[in-house]
Amino acid sequence: MDEAKAGSEQGYRVQSGNNMPIQAPLIPDPFVPYHCPHNANLMVVCRTDKAVLEKYLAPTPFEAIDDRYVVYASDFSRCDKTPFMDTGIIVPVRWGKRTGGYFLFEYENNDSAIAAGRDLWGYPKKYAEILFEESEAAVRSRTVRKGETIMELRCNLTRPAEFEPVVTTPHLNIHIQPGPDGRILNKRIIERDTSPDFALESECKAMAEVSLRGLSSDPLHELQPQEVLGASFVVGHFHATEENGWGRTVVEL
């Protein structure tokens, strides 16, 4: 039985109607828990002038704690709730006594995943076409937005690399809800960390290459690294559980 026929026979099952349209929500409701076996992640550690990172953090409550940052690509194509690919740039930051990872840019190829991340937790997700390929010797990813390639990652798994890890968790997001009058309805910092439930299968540190190109709305070229220290290619079972899959409001801004 196909999905459409099953839906018509069973009727719509809306548990809380927390997103639109309430009779057929864009975001699977509830979105958590969800799981993704063989979740492959390429995390490229880069270095730039810290002033570049500070410029992007200036409108936020966060401060840069490193001159390094991460350009990444993740394969969530086996996700049970909504399959998607995910790429972006994460900067290690401090807010008060907390440290974590702040997403400067993020891209996905599924509108349900984009809406879930933006509406529920404040991830700055935008739509892009994303390629992710892995083999025994290499991993590569390409992100295309509005017909232009804005991010390319390549990792040679046969060339080992050594580098210190970069702070990327917990995620510290600025969640903004616009009001119907064009003003900000409310704004908060949300903390989210699914890493305790990630079941690691394999990890490899290797040499990598990064190419970032900008659009007027997505100036990634300003974050083209001065140095690429290497990449961590991590594969495992991703779990967004009831305990850690949801976000938590830290403070209202």
8 Å CB contact between 35 and 79: yes
Distance of CA 115 to the CA centre of its chain: 13
Report the alpha-carbon distance of residue 28 to residue 43 in Å, rounded.
28
- Annotated catalytic residue, options 81, 125, 126, 205: 125
175 contact partners, CB below 8 Å, separation of at least 6: 121, 122, 187, 188, 189, 190, 247, 249
Residue 81 annotated as catalytic: no
**Helices vs strands, H then E, count in the chain:** 3, 14
* Tally of CB atoms within 10 A around 165: 12
Closest CA to 69 of 85, 55, 50, 87: 50
Distances (CA, A) of 244 to 25, 193, 194, 232: 23, 6, 5, 23
Sign of the CA dihedral running 41, 47, 50, 52: negative
- For residues 112 and 127, the answer to whether their CB atoms sit within 8 Å is no
Q: Catalytic amino acids?
A: 125
